[in-house]
Structure 1
Amino acid sequence: MFIALAREEHFGRAAISQGVTQPTLSAAIKQLEDQLGVMLVWRGSRYRGLTPEGQRALDWARRIVGDARSLKQEMRVAREGLSGDLRLAVIPTALTVVSDLTAGYGEAHPNVRFSVQSKTSVEILQMLENLEIDAGLTYLDNEPLGRVTTVPIYAERYVLVARAGHPLLSGPVRWAELEQVPLCLLTPDMQNRRIINQHLLEAGVEVTPRIEASSVVVLVSHVVRSNLATILPVRAAEIFLKGDDLQSVPLISPDASHIVGLVAPHREPLTPVLATLLDRARTLSDVSGV
């Protein structure tokens, strides 16, 4: 409950997330403070943040809850074999890669169940810290990750995707040529968009997308039905290029690439379920020499 309160920054929302009433949650926090002998939460008419002691206690709380969950999972594996739930959060441009991880894993260990959420890179790190997910699939080399375990899986490279017949589809396109191209792109809170903006800036151009969306599917649906083009990683675009409606060409100058991989809590020992997932990710890695 204390972790939930720190995450939600609101007694009511924290109580809802834990399936209890607000008085029950408040009483539990007060009991924890009495046990520790310190005030953990600044109180007023509403939540006002954690005290310095509360900030330190939050680090311990996350560690204690994480270790307790890991112990339970490991004992269940000892009793039942590899089983349980794996919660993943994935950046939108890597959603088509998740099946590479889960398919082979699921065949070898059918008693493990997966849940997958689409989240931004920032949200993935926050959810890892708050114990809301077990692992994430995100960028490894573009923005700070903090203290996590990482396994590089592939190098993300970029293509221009447009409807068949678009005048720019005759060959590789330079980033600098995109200034006057009508585009639809992911929203600025997505790291992929920040990467694209960075390479456009390096090429000396600035673009204003006609449409912004948090979903690759939304972008592609607009490309199919209009003269708009979009910029996607090759792995995200492949599934949409199976038919004849869309085509892609590489984006060059620069021939940019960024590493995408699995991130997990930096904790030892890992649960057998999570350790097996990391091993699976290592077998998929094709970033040697990048």
Structure 2
Amino acid sequence: MCDFFFFLKEMRILVTGGSGMVGRTLQSFATDHTWFFPTSKEMNLMDFDSIQSFIKKNNPNFVIHLAANVGGLYKNLAVRVDMLHDNLIMNENILTACYNNKITRGIFLCSTCIFPKNPPAYPMTEDMMLLGEPHPSNASYAWSKRLLFFQCQNYNEERGCHYLCLIPTNIFGPHDNFSIADGHVIAAVIHRFYVAKQQKTRLEIKTGTNSLRQFISACDVARTILSCLTRLDDISQRSPIIIAHKEHRLVDVIQKISKLFDHDNYLIIDQELGQERKPCSFQRFTETFPNFKFDDFDQTLAKTVEWFQDHYHTDVRR
């Protein structure tokens, strides 16, 4: 049941991971209410006492948990121990500290990697989330996010909280981690094309020629979060909710990036490193947000490339 009186109060919103892609995007929308975007020095998520101290000092009454030890395919394979450990600790610390300080409303970001490697059908729906093992290429991150959902569900059912888990597909946009070694696919490819263009070299990219991914902009995720704020008591009963849109062939995305850089000296090496495709249903999302309009993919891609080039020497994580 919706607590009407809660939404008459001033909303004081604590955001973890505020320096990341979604966090930075969310800051550009954060006009109404009172917002807190602490740095890791101001609030260390690996240190429970640090979280407790920040919460007691600033008295938030709502949490948006975006922070995670996250990366692309290569990082997922290379640092499995740290990825599982760090995310489990951060998730447990923020949930316990929030509940101890009566922050019973919040939005928690998960990932589509939590879905099984062999789902019973495509597109995958929210109720398929735990029907099998996740893909081994990102199992550590997947298990940490599965347990985050399970924790939120327990708090909702046992302790009357309103914690909503959102499951976005592949997010991209300005402020992404553009590391060639451990960035997500679009960000890493953008960086590689930039380097190849500067050095006037041929670029070789390994990917399955039939690989498909659902991409959404960081702005789409931020606007979804804002849409949930004053409806959370009702929406949290539908948790989790997948944020997804149409699929794109990776080779087509790579071609678009090559054109944006005006650098066509590249070769696709047909080698599937992860799952060929893992489409997710956005029926529940559409039912919950019937008037939501997703950003145009090509326009967002062009803006991302432009932002990357403009900020390469100043504000790019690489």
TM-score (norm 1): 0.28
Higher strand share: 1
- Greater Rg by CA: 1
Question: Higher RCO, 1 or 2 (CA under 8 Å, sep at least 6)?
Answer: 1
TM-score (norm 2): 0.26
